[in-house]
Amino acid sequence: MASSADQLFVSDENYILVDICANLVNKKFNRDLESVIQRAKDAGVKKMIVLGTSLHSTKEALRLTRMHPGTVYCTAGIHPHDAKSWGDDDEALEVLRSVASNPECVAIGECGLDFSKDFSSPECQIQVLEKQVALACELNKPLVLRERAAFDAMVDMLARSQLPGHVVLHCFAGSSDQAAAYLARGCYLGVGGQLWKEPTVLQSVPPERILLESDSPFLWPNTRALPSEWRTALQPRAVRLLERYCSFQRNEPCCLPAVLELTAAVLGIGAQDLALRTTYTALSIFGLD
């Protein structure tokens, strides 16, 4: 149950939002997870998807869905940083298949290519990604991808692979040309707190190909870095939620109304219009009930 103080921050915009990436099994939420989830719901974030990034977090994410049925969903995947943990016997594949066979698990991922760090070799990342793409096709589940400093390799993989019906680029942080290339291949782009870095990239993206995400506890929306004409689009309660509960140290899913309003301002459309479009897209892609 939310406290009386939290109730003051219930969004008066009546948004209905879906957070396609809330890392709620992160240890930063151990102390007050129930309050975090309730705050998100009060802010209009009615459904949250917890991304699996390792075998452990994948299983924990599934466990969390059982505690919050109809609100929390999960994915099953191995992050590219952890690709080296896959092993030679494909035991990891069987764990992912087992979790992903549950209806609460709505996608395969977070998987992909991240050449910005050297935690796993590019060759290992590509091999592990290909196995997860094949699993998504086998189970007919959407694919949630991460790409950092690996655009050419990712586009090559997309071009030569059989893909599931829906592919989402989680926390897209590329250029306008890269966005166009992904859109041309039928991908959807996840938008979150990274918006402040290159907001104009979004202006060429159709609203129906955008999904909203907090990536909490990461990617705090640094609204101070945005031009004032976009910052003024933030409604008072979205600002208060952001200032009271979200920070660089720990972002929360309740930041999503602010992400929505900023994204709508960049696109030049109404926030409620964008809320309806992104929520419809998320419900359709992930089969959320």
Is 110 assigned to a binding site? yes
Is 68 assigned to a binding site? no
Which residue type, as a one-letter code, is found at position 279?
T
Alpha helix segments (H runs only) across the chain? 4-7, 33-42, 55-67, 91-100, 122-139, 151-160, 176-184, 228-231, 236-245, 256-267, 271-286
Is 215 assigned to a binding site? yes
Residues 6+ apart with CB under 8 A from 74: 49, 50, 51, 52, 58, 61, 62, 64, 65, 99, 104, 105, 106
CA distances from 105 to 68, 86, 101, 192, 224 (A): 13, 20, 7, 22, 36
Annotated binding site for a divalent metal cation: 110, 170, 215
Annotated binding site: 110, 170, 215
